[in-house]
Structure 1
Amino acid sequence: MVAGILPQTIGKLKMLSRALLSGNQISGQLPNTIQHIYRLSDLDLSLNRISGPIPESLGKMAVLATLNLDGNMLSGTLPATLINSGISILNVSKNAIEGTIPDVFGPKSYFMVMDLSYNKLKGPIPKSIATASYVGHLDLSYNHLCGAIPAGSWFDHLEASSFTNNDCLCGKPLRAC
């Protein structure tokens, strides 16, 4: 069991490729210095007590492919850098992230898993998500999203549970708009 805060000096671990620290008692904010760990491909800090915003710099990391921050106390908005990056597994569910989902999806967006459920996100699902290279598992449930679910091949395989408990989402697989 690891307890306490992540030190600013974590960025000196330049050769670290995986940081799997789920289910500990890590608290405080995520240090921006994590961006200096240039070989980091998997960062799992889920089920801790981390608070504050998600640093934009995480989406700018060269090889970061898995980012699990679910089950913390993160707040602020979802950085646009996480959407159009090399991250293919993004889980920030069960936090207090608010604002809108950034409308910056593009060909570089490739998500095997994108779980943004159980947050305070509002507004529509961005139309640019249809331009993503791939979206496998998507969970946007338990937010405050509203509007039409974008049409596209990425949404054909999704079930209603991916969109439930939002303010006013409509369209396939939910009720018609």
Structure 2
Amino acid sequence: MSRALLSRNQLTGSIPSSFANIYRLADLDLSSNQLSGWIPPQLGSMPALSTLNLDSNQLSGNIPPSLLSSAGLNVLNISRNNLEGNLPDVFGTKTYFSVLDLSYKQFHGSIPKSLSSVKYIGHLDLSYNHLCGQIPLGSPFDHLEASSCANNDCLCGSPLRSC
């Protein structure tokens, strides 16, 4: 297994989709750079990738569904970017995240219902988006702190105000 730890290097431009060709890449950290453009969907199909940290860049567009439905990705942090759109409803019963940080974005719509069917999410952060609707019941929502869903347009339900 290999690691590419490239945070805080003032990298610019887009994320090369050729990262997906590094077969044994387990950890990819490109956080706190000046990367822009879209997240290559191929990153979600990398066989060994378990940690993907892209926070604090200038990435835009939609989140690739392949990142959220990946069976091998354990830590996904794409917070503090300019991503937008709806959160894809692609979570499955084999989905296992110790960390899923989707905060500080421009996500709209509701929390995907399939998120309540995941095997495990240790830390979930959906704060500072434009999400609306009722927070689903069950795991992983039954152990959320209010701060994990705070500062959305109109989310309601536990752990926030009732609907």
The TM-score range, normalised by the shorter chain, is over 0.9
Which secondary structure does the structure 1 equivalent of 2:42 belong to?
Answer: helix
Give the letter aligned to residue 75 of structure 1.
S
Compute the TM-score of the two structures, normalised by the length of structure 2: 0.97
Which secondary structure does the structure 1 equivalent of 2:11 belong to?
Answer: strand
| Aligned pair partner of 1:139 in 99, 117, 125 | 125
Which secondary structure does the structure 2 equivalent of 1:146 belong to?
Answer: strand
Counterpart CA distance in 2 for 1:141 and 1:169 is 10
Deviations 1:21-53 (A, max 9, x none): 111110000111111000000000000000000
Compute the TM-score of the two structures, normalised by the length of structure 1: 0.90
| Aligned pair partner of 2:62 in 58, 64, 77 | 77
1:3 aligned residue: none
Deviation at 1:84, TM superposition (A): 1.0
Which secondary structure does the structure 2 equivalent of 1:147 belong to?
Answer: strand
Counterpart CA distance in 2 for 1:95 and 1:153 is 26
Confirm whether residue 173 of structure 1 aligns to residue 159 of structure 2.
yes
- TM-align CA RMSD: 0.8
Matched length:
162
Counterpart CA distance in 2 for 1:109 and 1:126 is 14
Counterpart CA distance in 2 for 1:44 and 1:84 is 19
1:8 aligned residue: none
Which consecutive unaligned segments of at least 5 residues does structure 2 have? Answer: none
Deviation at 1:108, TM superposition (A): 2.4
1:1-177 correspondence to structure 2 within 5 Å: 17-85=2-70, 86-177=72-163
Counterpart CA distance in 2 for 1:117 and 1:161 is 11
Is the contact made by 2:132 and 2:153 (CA closer than 8 Å) also made in structure 1?
yes
Give the letter aligned to residue 54 of structure 1.
I
Deviation at 1:107, TM superposition (A): 1.8
Counterpart CA distance in 2 for 1:123 and 1:135 is 21
Counterpart CA distance in 1 for 2:139 and 2:130 is 24
* Structure with larger Rg: 1
Give the letter aligned to residue 138 of structure 1.
L
Counterpart CA distance in 2 for 1:109 and 1:100 is 19
Deviation at 1:109, TM superposition (A): 1.1
Counterpart CA distance in 2 for 1:55 and 1:66 is 15
% identity of equivalent residues: 62
Deviations 1:130-158 (A, max 9, x none): 11111110000000000110101211111
